Structure 1
Amino acid sequence: MTHRPLRPAAAAATLLALTLAGCAADDDGATATTSVDTTTTDDAATSAEALDAFPVTVDTPTGEVTIQERPERIVSLSPSATEILFAIGAGDQVVAVDEFSTYPETAPTTDLSGFDPNVEAVAAYEPDLVVIATDGNDLVASLEALDIPVVLDDAPTDVGSGYDGMAALGLATGHADEAAGAVEGMRAAMDDALAAAPQDEELRVYHELDETFFSASSHSFIGSVYEQMGVVNIADEADTDATGYPQLTEESVVEADPQVIVISDQASYTAEDVAARPGWSQVSAVKNGNIVVVDADVSSRWGPRLPQLVAVLAEALSSAAVPAGR
Structure 2
Amino acid sequence: MRTPGRAELPCLCSGVAVRRGVSLRGGAAALAVVLAVLLTGCGGGAGASAKTSASSAPADAGTRAAAAAKQLATNSVIPLKGEPPTPELPVTVDSSDGRKVTVTDASRILPLNGGVAEIVFTLGLGDRVVGRDITATFAEAEKLPLVTKAHDVSAESVLSLKPTVVLADTDTGPSEAIDQIRASGTPVVVLDPAGKLADVSTRTTRVAEALGVPEAGRALNERITGQLAEARAAVPKGSRPKVAFLYMRGTAAVYLIGGKGSGGDSLLEAAGAVDAGKESGLDRPFTPITSEALVTAEPDVILMMSKGLDSVGGTDGLLAIPGISQTPAGADRRVVALEDGVLLSFGPRTPLVIDILVDRIHRT
TM-score above 0.5, yes or no = yes
Q: CA deviation at 1:214?
A: 2.0
User: Residues 62 and 108 from structure 1, CA distance in 2 versus in 1: closer, same or farther, beyond 3 angstroms?
Assistant: farther
Is 2:106 the partner of 1:71?
yes
Which residue of 2 is the match for residue 177 of structure 1? Answer: 215
Is 2:201 the partner of 1:163?
yes
The percentage of aligned residue pairs carrying the same residue is 24
Match 1:264 to one of 305, 314, 335: 305
Q: Deviations over 1:78-121 (max 9, x none)?
A: 01111111011110110111123111334443332173112122
CA contact (8 A) 1:80 1:302 kept: yes
Match 1:137 to one of 154, 174, 183: 174
CA contact (8 A) 2:292 2:323 kept: no
Is 2:183 the partner of 1:148?
no
Q: CA deviation at 1:311?
A: 1.2
Q: Secondary structure at the match of 1:164?
A: helix
Which structure's relative contact order is higher, taking Cα pairs within 8 Å and 6+ residues apart?
Answer: 2
Separation of aligned partners in 2, 1:302 and 1:235: 20
Separation of aligned partners in 2, 1:250 and 1:109: 45
Aligned length: 276
Separation of aligned partners in 1, 2:90 and 2:126: 20
Which residue of 2 is the match for residue 224 of structure 1? Answer: 266
CA contact (8 A) 2:301 2:361 kept: yes
Structure 2: gaps spanning 5 or more residues: 1-41, 50-83
Q: Secondary structure at the match of 1:235?
A: helix
Match 1:111 to one of 127, 132, 146: 146
CA contact (8 A) 2:255 2:289 kept: yes
Is 2:333 the partner of 1:289?
yes
TM-score normalised to structure 1 length: 0.75
CA contact (8 A) 1:155 1:302 kept: no
Separation of aligned partners in 1, 2:237 and 2:185: 50
Which residue of 2 is the match for residue 7 of structure 1? Answer: none
Q: CA deviation at 1:57?
A: 1.8
Separation of aligned partners in 2, 1:199 and 1:215: 27
Q: Deviations over 1:48-97 (max 9, x none)?
A: 99x95322122232124433423111112201111111011110110111
Q: Secondary structure at the match of 2:167?
A: strand
Separation of aligned partners in 2, 1:98 and 1:208: 26
CA contact (8 A) 2:270 2:354 kept: no
Separation of aligned partners in 2, 1:256 and 1:221: 17
Separation of aligned partners in 2, 1:68 and 1:299: 31
Q: CA deviation at 1:131?
A: 1.4
- Give the letter aligned to residue 174 of structure 2: N
Which residue of 2 is the match for residue 126 of structure 1? Answer: 162
Q: CA RMSD in A?
A: 2.8
Separation of aligned partners in 1, 2:286 and 2:321: 22
Which structure's CA Rg is the greater one? 1
Separation of aligned partners in 2, 1:52 and 1:185: 20
Q: Secondary structure at the match of 2:134?
A: coil
Structure 1: gaps spanning 5 or more residues: 1-15, 18-37, 42-47
CA contact (8 A) 2:167 2:190 kept: yes
